[in-house]
Amino acid sequence: MRIGISVITHANQNIWENGMGQNVFFLARALKAIPFVRSVVLINVGDQNRMADQIDLGRESLTLLNQEQASDQVDVIIELAGALHHQWLALQRARGKKVVYYCVGQPYAGLIEGTIFERPGFFPMVGRCDEIWLLPEYIQHAPMMRLLNRCPVRQTPYLWSSSFLEKRVQEVTEKGYRYGWDSTQKGPRALRAAIFEPNVSVAKTSSISMLVCDEAYRADREALQMMHVLNTLHMKDHQTMLHFANSLDLVKDHKACFHGRHDVVGFMAQHADAVVSHQWDNEQNYSYMDALYGDYPLVHNSAWLHSFGAGYFYPGFEAAEGGKQLQWASAHHDECLLDQRAATQKLFAALDPVGEVNVRTHIQMLKDLCSDAPHLMEAA
């Protein structure tokens, strides 16, 4: 079986600009570990003939093709990080090939927000694909996706590897910075908290995380040294944002700083030693793994992450409880470090793209996808 995964290229591309870039390669590694998969290629729908600088296609044993070049090189097409042309997809399906839409964004927000907020949106044509593969965090939207697209919807494993992160850590180390929790400084400390929510969707915004930080600071002035709120420059002049921020004690006491976009490793190595996060129906994020890899205290509201015992959990929108967790982390993280590391290793093992369970799951998903197309399995 030959598989193609869509990618989008553009000028000045960076692997850290969103999670999709990494997701493509983690999925490719999982699929290449399957005995009956002969090849995996990347189908480029962008305007460049190369990937981001952080990507070594030779090392990944992957080839970048355009849609025309891929036409006779694939049996299964996975639309993931770039929208393929609907006429090309229709042609491939007419030729007996299978098409999967691999959904890596919150589907309800993606459907609704563009219309409500008058932003560019995307609505797939009915009949565009044979199946939809949803990440576990979005599986509650399966009924909606099934009706919208009129095809089966399956849950696909959430994958992550530290490979890209390790390269980035090496880069900052070579520049004289250190990434990771400083465990030589024992006992309570005033944390420098960073909030990395992208602030482009209601699913992941900084508002609740800011309340968490302020709650911890108002309860104990020694718990927090500084709050860094990233991805906020596009909102800095909005009256609601201004009034909200100025209501916080951290802002009044000049212990808050607002930034543009930065990658987790580069920023944490220079400016912060804790991460505070909030999401709404978006429980799986690579930024969690980045923070946990560095042994940093991570205060979060992801029930999925909490099931592994990783980080410091508060439920839903309960910012007051989040503040208590941040206070606890400032005083006790060193004591909890060994337990946190054990939980993190268990989490990382479950996400390994070439882990036995994940490979076996993808084998079954491909067999189910091609159950009515035996010629594709024969091609394997």
Q: Give long-range contacts, CB 8 A cutoff, 24+ apart: 213-217.
A: 213/248, 213/250, 213/276, 213/323, 213/326, 214/248, 214/249, 214/250, 214/323, 215/319, 215/320, 215/322, 215/323, 215/324, 215/326, 216/322, 216/323, 216/324, 216/326, 216/327, 216/330, 217/249, 217/250, 217/255
The whole-number pLDDT of residue 20 equals: 87
Q: Which domains does the chain have, with CATH numbers?
A: 2-159+352-379 (3.40.50.720), 163-351 (3.40.50.2000)
pLDDT value of position 380: 47
Asked if residues 265 and 177 have their Cβ atoms less than 8 Å apart, the reply is no
What's the predicted TM-score (pTM) here?
A: 0.94
pLDDT number for residue 49: 87
Please answer whether residues 61 and 28 qualify as being in contact, where contact means their C-beta atoms are separated by less than 8 angstroms: no
Cα separation, 13 vs 44, whole angstroms: 13
Give the model's pLDDT for residue 378: 65
Taking a C-beta distance cutoff of 8 angstroms, is the pair 153, 142 a contact?
A: yes
* Residues 315, 317: Cα–Cα separation, whole Å: 6
**Per-residue model confidence (pLDDT) at position 379:** 53
Length of the chain: 380
Residue 184 has a pLDDT of 87
pLDDT along the chain (380 residues), means of 10: 95 86 95 96 92 88 95 96 92 96 92 84 80 96 95 98 96 97 90 97 96 98 97 93 96 97 96 98 96 98 98 98 98 96 98 98 97 75
pLDDT of residue 25: 96
Nearest to 19 by CA among 137, 173, 182: 137
What's the pLDDT at 13? Answer: 87
